[in-house]
Amino acid sequence: MQYADFGRFTHAVVRAIPESLTAEALRRDSASQQQVDTAAAQLETERYFSVLENTLGLRVVRLQEEEALPDCVFVEDVAVVCGDTALVTRPGAPSRRGETEAMKKALTDLDLNIVEMTDESATLDGGDVLFTGKEFFVGLSKRTNRRGAEILADAFKDYAVSTVPVLDHLHLKSFCSMAGPGLIAIGSSEAAQKALKTMQQMSDHKYDKLTVPDDAAANCIYMNLPGKGHILLHCTPEEFPESSKVFEKLKDHMLIPVPNSEKMKVDGGLTCCSVLINRPEKL
């Protein structure tokens, strides 16, 4: 991938929410009693799919929800796609490993080169993988281990891969994401700022940072689409008023607020709900 192509996407693979999400989705804080409103979560997700398909013009591949897989809406965790290669991961939570089957088929249908993570000592959630356009950072969390990061490095040999300890959050992207070329959105917590410092120390590249008050709000989706330019999907001002004010400083971006409050109750961010792919039509 050329850096000029960073944020360029043509397709999104998504998956609908099963009814089982409400009662059975995994939670980092098992004591959290916040009840998910399934109907509201499904409306949020439909809004998200509509933005991708109707507002932005991506070709959206919708996978069927599966009641036996309560977390299956969070498709990001089961695949990492860069260029023509798709790494089908081995999620850290055993209950989620069945999610890879439908994703593998969808990625195969898009004619991507599939790499499967078959090593049973490896775990990798895509939510721990931050691709900057120049390199990968992989969070070492309860869901992702060093062997998983090694297999990712082997799959994407053109890019440096550095690991970052993730201690107080579910995933690396629970508190950071790319908000533009060379621009990292980062939360304000001590854990987020420490992780950013680690990334900066390990990298040969210089990144600007966009610091937002709320860690969860730092999970946003950047795209650069022909005819539309820089686009940022971010949480709504109702959810994070102070962080939204920070995003409004990005005058070159088309800002699209997308509600996500129901899925946040089960640790879901905006990036979690799609696998974005660049597959231009072959001439």
CB 152 within 8 A of CB 87: yes
Number of H helices, E strands in the chain: 7, 15
Task: Give the side-chain half-sphere CA count within 13 A for 1.
Answer: 25
Between CA 261 and CA 252 the distance in angstroms is: 26
Amino acid at 49: F
Between CA 19 and CA 62 the distance in angstroms is: 17
Q: Per the structure block, which two tokens stand in for 281?
A: 């039509």
Rg (CA), the chain: 17
Between CA 107 and CA 82 the distance in angstroms is: 12
| Closest-CA residue to 176 (of 158, 162, 194, 159) | 194
Q: Strands 160-165 and 176-180: what pairing? A: unpaired
Q: Per the structure block, which two tokens stand in for 206?
A: 């210089």
For residue 50, the SS3 value is helix
Output the CA angle 145-166-258, nearest 5 degrees.
110
Between CA 121 and CA 8 the distance in angstroms is: 34
The catalytic residues are 171, 272
Q: Per the structure block, which two tokens stand in for 72?
A: 């299956």
